[in-house]
Amino acid sequence: MTETTKTHVILLSCGSFNPITKGHIQMFERARDYLHKTGRFIVIGGIVSPVHDSYGKQGLVSSRHRLTMCQLAVQSSDWIRVDPWECYQDTWQTTCSVLEHHRDLMKRVTGCILSNVNTPSMTPVIGQPQNESPQPIYQNSNISNKPTAAKILGKMGESLSRICCVRPPMERFTFVDENANLGTVMRYEEIELRILLLCGSDLLESFCIPGLWNESDMEVIVGDFGIVVVPRDGTDTDRIMNHSSILRKYKNNILVVKDDVNHPMSVVSSTKSRLALQHGDGHVVDYLSQPVIDYILKSQLYITASG
């Protein structure tokens, strides 16, 4: 597959991030590496979306702190950013709502048609009506100035980086300009762009708990979007999927990361990192990056079990 025919992916991770751990960032990296190795995908961005304060989880610190810790955790990444939209809403948002928000935002900002993993859209990404010829962007008739795959991908990367790969300043979290016109040059090519939910196998298991998830939401999350699962140690993801009719139905939309890298998924655990902080355990450095630890100590977070 050429670079322009591969599916371009934005990985979205929703969670408490209370606090965000090294393992959460490793999940992004492992997922990106795996998707690239399949030869079918190009990951162009990652989004960390912390949950709203009204989620009601015991010990959940203020979103102001969690957003800042997430920002510190990704400050050395050139492709993962933190998005405050979920925290800034009036109340808690479902995972389905967060995915739909980002899908709609990407449509407005880039003009991209977001399609299903296994049923790619045949609609041009930037659409002028099919019965109209696009106005030429390149006025010079010299062939070297006409669009090429490299130029188009470069322009797309430049445009989408303004959404997916540019982190907001620490002092202020801002929203993407929904009226921006970022992708005009892409009308020459058909680019498949998808937002995939990135999660651990524990979230996959939660889909099998009766009554925990709204079934229509599950249909949208797995059927319309698709998920990338980074399994916890020794987890049998096939067994989990066989326990849910919806997961079985959309099994081809569930991408399970399989790699040879030995990353113990226990380092993803925010609970273990909080316990380590409360007990003064030096192993907290195994869970959290130093900038996050410094912020937690400065702000006196997680000193007690209640946060």
| Band (108; pLDDT cuts 50, 70, 90) | confident
Q: What's the pLDDT score for residue 66?
A: 98
Q: What's the pLDDT score for residue 117?
A: 39
Tell me how crowded residue 101 is: count the other CB atoms within 10 A of its CB.
18
**pLDDT, average across residues 195-208:** 95
Bridge partners (DSSP) of residue 201 are none
| Band (267; pLDDT cuts 50, 70, 90) | low
Residue 280 has pLDDT above 60, yes or no: yes
Pinpoint the alpha helices (H) of the chain.
22-38, 63-73, 85-88, 95-110, 149-160, 201-206, 215-218, 237-242, 245-249, 270-278, 284-287, 290-299
Phi, psi of 246 (to 5 degrees): -70, -40
Q: What's the pLDDT score for residue 101?
A: 95
For 246-263, write each residue's pLDDT tens digit.
Answer: 999 999 999 999 977 656
Q: What's the pLDDT score for residue 181?
A: 41
Residue 109 has pLDDT above 80, yes or no: no
> How large a percentage of the chain has pLDDT more than 70?
70
| Band (168; pLDDT cuts 50, 70, 90) | very low
Q: What's the pLDDT score for residue 130?
A: 34
Ramachandran region, residue 66 (left: φ > 0; alpha: ψ -120 to 50; beta: rest): alpha
Fold of the domain spanning 7-116+190-265? Rossmann fold (3.40.50)
Q: What's the pLDDT score for residue 192?
A: 79
Pairwise pLDDT comparison (77 vs 149), residue with the higher score? 77
Q: What's the pLDDT score for residue 197?
A: 98
**pLDDT, average across residues 288-298:** 97
Tell me how crowded residue 92 is: count the other CB atoms within 10 A of its CB.
13
| Band (172; pLDDT cuts 50, 70, 90) | very low
| CB half-sphere exposure, 132, CA atoms < 13 A | 8
Residue 198 has pLDDT above 60, yes or no: yes
Q: What's the pLDDT score for residue 235?
A: 86
Helices 22-38 and 63-73 cross at an angle (nearest 10°) of 50
Calculated CA dihedral for residues 39, 114, 201, 256, nearest 10 degrees: -20
**pLDDT, average across residues 11-39:** 96
Residue 223 · residue 197 · CB < 8 Å: no
For 202-260, write each residue's pLDDT tens digit.
Answer: 999 999 999 999 999 999 999 999 999 999 877 899 999 999 999 999 999 999 999 77
Pairwise pLDDT comparison (166 vs 262), residue with the higher score? 262
Q: What's the pLDDT score for residue 259?
A: 79
Q: What's the pLDDT score for residue 233?
A: 75
Instruction: Give the least confident one: 11-20, 145-154, 185-194.
Output: 145-154
- Tokens for 43, please give them: 């990951």
Cα–Cα distance between 13 and 99 in angstroms, integer?
10
